[in-house]
């Protein structure tokens, strides 16, 4: 399972926040076994004592669709998605956010995936990278140390 770090929590605002939440679960059953019992679940802890940091989700990358064409027979194709400051500045405060986990996702297309950050024209070490990506392994991966992301 995945737990937030103790200093972070997802703020639930009963007056202004969403009224419904959705949990999406992916199952992998390559042998089509009919006798698998699902024991997954969700533990939601609700408290009035707020954490130091609010947690949230930042989705970046490419949205593969019919316009994302990969030529047949290519040994390797690089696809890049860019999230520029004009975009991130609409949601990320000037003080930045602390990224503590990532989930890599390329549907069935990707074999390698990397999350890079470029600040003031200088590329920083990758936030996360997987050079042997398995699309069946879709779990949040906690970073060894938080990455500071600015607009």
- pLDDT at site 66: 74
Residue 64 has pLDDT above 80, yes or no: no
Q: What is the mean pLDDT of residues 130-148?
A: 90
What is the distance of C-alpha 102 from the center of its chain?
A: 4
- pLDDT at site 32: 93
* CA pair distance 53, 73, nearest whole angstrom: 47
- What's the burial of 34, exposed, middle or buried (CB within 10 Å: 0-12/13-18/19+)? exposed
Q: What is the mean pLDDT of residues 61-68?
A: 75
Average pLDDT score over the chain: 87
Residue in the block written with tokens 């419904």: 20
Q: What is the 3-state secondary structure (H, E, C) of 60-93?
A: CCCCCCCCCCCCCCCCCCCCCCCCCHHHHCCCCC
pLDDT band at 43 (very low <50, low <70, confident <90, very high): confident
Q: How many residues can be counted in the chain?
A: 151
Residue 10 has pLDDT above 80, yes or no: yes
- pLDDT at site 42: 83
* Contact between residue 140 and residue 101 where contact means Cβ atoms under 8 Å apart: yes
**Structure pTM?**
0.77
| Higher-pLDDT residue of 67, 98 | 98
- Which residues lie closer than 8 Å to 7 by C-beta, 6 or more apart? 51, 52, 53
Taking the CB of residue 132, how many other CB atoms lie within 10 A of it?
6
Q: Which tokens hold the place of 34? A: 């009919």
- Which residues lie closer than 8 Å to 38 by C-beta, 6 or more apart? 27
Residue 142 has pLDDT above 90, yes or no: yes
Most confident region among 19-23, 32-36, 106-110 by mean pLDDT: 32-36
């Amino acid at each position: 399972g995945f737990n937030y770090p103790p200093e972070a929590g997802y703020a639930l605002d009963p007056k202004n926040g969403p009224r419904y939440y959705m949990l999406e679960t992916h199952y992998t059953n390559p042998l089509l076994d009919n006798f698998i019992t699902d024991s997954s679940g969700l533990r939601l802890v609700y408290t009035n004592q707020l954490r130091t940091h609010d947690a949230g989700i930042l989705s970046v990358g490419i949205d593969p669709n019919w316009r994302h064409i990969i030529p047949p027979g290519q040994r390797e194709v690089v696809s890049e998605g860019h999230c520029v400051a004009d975009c991130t500045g609409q949601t990320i405060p000037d003080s930045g956010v602390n990224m503590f986990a990532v989930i890599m996702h390329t549907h069935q297309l990707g074999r390698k995936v990397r999350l890079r950050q470029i600040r003031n024209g200088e590329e920083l070490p990758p936030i996360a990278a997987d050079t042997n990506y398995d699309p069946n392994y879709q779990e949040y991966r906690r970073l060894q140390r938080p990455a500071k992301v600015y607009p």
